[in-house]
Chains A and B, each alone.
Chain A
Amino acid sequence: MQRLNHYFGLHRENAVTAFHDMFKQPLASALTIAVIGIALALPAALSLLVQNGRAVAGSMEDVRDFSVYLQPGLPLEEADNLAAKLRLKALVDKVSVISADTALEEFRDSSGFDNAITALETNPLPHTLTVRPAAVADGDSLQTLAEELTANPLVDQVRIDTEWVKRLSAILDLLKRSVWIAGILLIAAVIIIVGNTIRLDIQSRRDEIEVYKLLGASNRFVRRPFLYIGICYGVSGGLFGLILLVISALILAGPVETLTGLYGSSFVLQGLNTLTMGSVLGGGILAGWIGAWTAVARHIAAIRPA
């Protein structure tokens, strides 16, 4: 039990010492932490951009609505039946029926052709279904649904702008992949930065390491403080990255709200959630540890007392 306490005591001491060691060269450490923080904040910011992009798309659902024009002269009951069948489909969120009479009234009010419309002997407009796709429906599935409806004998025409949906979906997919690539590259950068910092630290403490080894220290004992220094850099960089993200979100929240308001959207900028915060901090710790490990694995064992 005493041995175990001693073991954990050493870890605690190494962690505290590593934290203090970072402040022995405050400027150099601050610059390293800033670079790590920026490198961690960038992919997190891109990720938030994608999340907000999807939320923006969600808040503009009516843009994805499409119209199904039924055959002229079709009884309204038939239109209601078709609407009921459509509502049962998983790809469909909502279906509204606009009768030919309602459509004509709306056209009369909005077009200004009141006299011309009154002169018509019959209503030329068909009953129309306005379909709002479910959130799960992407461009391809909507196209399939549209083709299915077009083949229906009750339907005259389907108006759907799937290209727009496809473009939005493609942009978001592209961004999502970019986030992954940027994330991997920037985490690799953090690993290299921490590894190089630890390597320089090992070189500057070479004499001390030799003394440790002469007194019987194992490589594991010698490398432990350096691993904690790497973790300290990762934690500090992660916290700095989170601060950058919070500040950025606060600065952008107002202008984004104004912009989306101009498009009639009630969209509110989504800030940091627990997952993003955990990813930035966890990514920092992991990258710091791996970076330190790559340095100590190569350089500590190579140091032999002369």
Chain B
Amino acid sequence: MISFDHVTKRYDGGRDALRNVSLEIPQGELVFLTGPSGAGKSTFLKMLACIERPTRGQVFVNGANIGRLPDRQIHRYRRQIGLVFQDNKLLQDRSVFDNVALPLVIAGLTERETGKRVRAALDQVGLLKKDKTVPRKLSLGEQQRVGIARAVVSRPGLLIADEPTGNLDPELSLDIMSLFRRFNDIGVTMVIATHDLNLLDQLGGKRLILADGEVRGGDFDPTEGGF
């Protein structure tokens, strides 16, 4: 479960990206984070990925106060989550297989186990036959699928995606979002930031609307503090 407890994030210069946000996201939920640019969506996700720390308040993931994790322990936490980026952040000089294998190599899994899991992840995103290709030879949609395979290969309990369809056309976007839906169906908690409201109507899931760093609605019930 994810819990934000009166979280405020103030950047240098005095701008508040998040203001006194308190909410809870239950395990296995699919949450779409929406709102205009500058609403605080990316900051919200950065908190969950331990890229930013709250200025005030606390962020808990499965009971751990990740806002107060010592620097030397952050890498262990990140091994338990999956991250998908708008620009996919693939290593262009490595093959699709090597890119997807990276989290497992970092985690110290054996070569055999890594191979098995990478092939399974690539199969799930429909790219098993392109495992030896380098990312730049793939389409944008395929590159984003590789990014998703890399995010799920270590079987995370939480998957965070920041505008994963931002660079894709509507058809590919639906394709990618359907992939997320499938992973959510097997119990992965997902927090996805997106501008694409049309997709949300087709996929279901819960909405959390942010504006000016505050929760402004969606399927979130402020009086209950959850969905």
Q: Which chain A residue shows the least CB distance to B88?
A: A211
Choose, from A29-37, A46-54, A214-222, A275-283, the stretch at the interface.
Answer: A214-222
Do A6 and B106 form a contact, CB below 8 Å, given A214-B83, A304-B51, A306-B51? no
Q: State in angstroms the CA–CA spacing of A214 and B89 once bound together.
A: 10
Partner among B49, B76, B77, B106 whose Cβ is within 8 Å of the Cβ of A212: B106
Q: Does A10 contact B (CB under 8 A)?
A: yes
A6, B51: Cβ atoms closer than 8 Å: no
Q: Which residue of B lies closest to A211 (CB)?
A: B89
By secondary structure, the B interface counts as helix
Q: Which residue of B lies closest to A215 (CB)?
A: B103
Number of chain B residues close to chain A: CB under 8 A: 22
A-side interface size class: 20 to 34
CB of B64 closer than 8 Å to a CB of A:
no
The dominant DSSP class at the A interface is: helix
A215-B106 contact in complex given A6-B111, A208-B91, C-beta closer than 8 Å: yes
Q: How far is the CA of A219 from the CA of B103 in the complex (A)?
A: 15
Closest CB of chain A to B159's CB: distance in Å? 13
When the two chains form their complex, are residues B111 and A215 in contact, meaning their CB atoms are under 8 A apart? no
The answer to whether residues A214 and B106 also contact, given A6-B111, A208-B91, A306-B51 and a CB cut-off of 8 A, is: no
Residues of B contacting A305 in the complex (Cβ-Cβ under 8 angstroms)? 49, 51
Note all chain A residues with C-beta closer than 8 A to B76: 216
A213 to B71, CA, bound (A): 12
In whole angstroms, how far apart are the Cα atoms of A219 and B76 in the complex? 11
- Nearest first, the 7 closest Cβ-Cβ pairs linking A and B are A216-B79, A216-B78, A218-B75, A217-B106, A215-B103, A216-B75, A211-B89
Can you spell out 22 A-B residue pairs with CB atoms less than 8 angstroms apart? A2-B110, A3-B110, A7-B108, A10-B105, A210-B89, A211-B102, A212-B106, A214-B49, A214-B51, A214-B78, A214-B89, A215-B79, A215-B102, A215-B103, A215-B106, A215-B150, A216-B76, A216-B78, A217-B75, A218-B72, A221-B106, A305-B51
